[in-house]
């Protein structure tokens, strides 16, 4: 099938590769080399197309040095570009989100953001608020803010939130006010905690459009 043929192009020694990515190693050797196909990458990413089809040195040499990424997340990004599916290790998800933003892969960004929306908890809500702010991901920002409000009395969460920039603390305040109201009324609190985080349906739709889920 076409899907299987495209997936096979990711295997070591696959034919017709015409661009090499040296990933990791800081430009001084080491890291890992990925051989890919510039025509396919250019179709999937406008950023890749500009880099590999224009007058830039990468287009002339067929070699791209990627010093701001690790091999694992980069491999997952390439696999998505070839197959429209996402298979990533949990430790690679944040780096993959930044790569998808860098290379303009909106479908991958939606998929990873949706995965993170379902993974927000007391341990990561403050960090995800910052990532969502830097990458302009309003859905993830709302979900992380809601989680922070619900978990404000969990160990260390309040301190982490208070250490954030003022505009991020302000994003948590409306949800925190709602949480305080529900804490005063136990029957309301129980109903609110049974309610899914905002935009769960939007998250599911984004996943469906992007064509897969994180492993």
- The string of pLDDT tens digits covering residues 23-39 is 986 655 568 999 999 99
Is the pLDDT assigned to residue 182 strictly greater than 60?
no
Instruction: Assign 200 a pLDDT band (cuts: 50, 70, 90).
Output: very low
The angle that helices 138-150 and 106-119 make with each other, rounded to 10 degrees, is: 10
Question: Residue with structure tokens 């990468």?
Answer: 58
Contact assessment for residue 25 and residue 11, using Cβ atoms and an 8 Å cutoff: no
pTM: 0.77
Rounded Cα gap, residues 57 and 123, in angstroms: 43
The distance from CA 26 to its chain's CA centroid, rounded to whole angstroms, is 22
The predicted structure's pLDDT at residue 105:
96
Instruction: Assign 42 a pLDDT band (cuts: 50, 70, 90).
Output: very high
Q: What is the tens place of the pLDDT at every residue in 101-152? A: 999 999 999 999 999 999 999 999 999 999 999 999 999 999 999 888 888 8
Rounded Cα gap, residues 187 and 147, in angstroms: 19
Question: Residue with structure tokens 């780096």?
Answer: 95
Is the pLDDT assigned to residue 14 strictly greater than 80?
no
Is the pLDDT assigned to residue 196 strictly greater than 60?
no
Rounded Cα gap, residues 60 and 18, in angstroms: 11
């Amino acid at each position: 099938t076409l899907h299987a043929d495209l997936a096979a192009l990711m295997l070591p020694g696959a034919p017709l590769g015409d661009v090499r990515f040296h990933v990791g190693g800081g430009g001084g050797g080491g890291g890992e080399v990925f051989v890919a196909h510039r025509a396919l990458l250019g179709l999937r990413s406008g950023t890749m197309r500009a880099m590999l089809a224009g007058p830039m040195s990468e287009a002339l040499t067929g070699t791209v040095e990627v010093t701001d990424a690790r091999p694992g997340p980069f491999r997952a990004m390439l696999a998505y570009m070839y197959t429209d599916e996402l298979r990533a290790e949990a430790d690679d998800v944040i780096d993959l989100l930044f790569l998808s933003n860098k290379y303009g892969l909106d479908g991958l960004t939606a998929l990873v953001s949706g995965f993170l929306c379902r993974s927000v908890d007391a341990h990561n809500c403050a960090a995800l608020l910052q990532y969502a702010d830097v990458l302009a991901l309003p859905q993830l920002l709302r979900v992380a803010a809601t989680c922070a409000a619900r978990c404000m009395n969990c160990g260390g969460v309040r301190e982490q939130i208070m250490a954030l920039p003022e505009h991020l603390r302000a994003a948590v305040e409306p949800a925190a006010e709602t949480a305080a109201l529900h804490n005063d009324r136990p029957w309301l609190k129980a109903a609110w905690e049974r309610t899914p985080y905002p935009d769960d349906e939007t998250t599911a739709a984004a996943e469906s459009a992007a064509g897969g889920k994180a492993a």
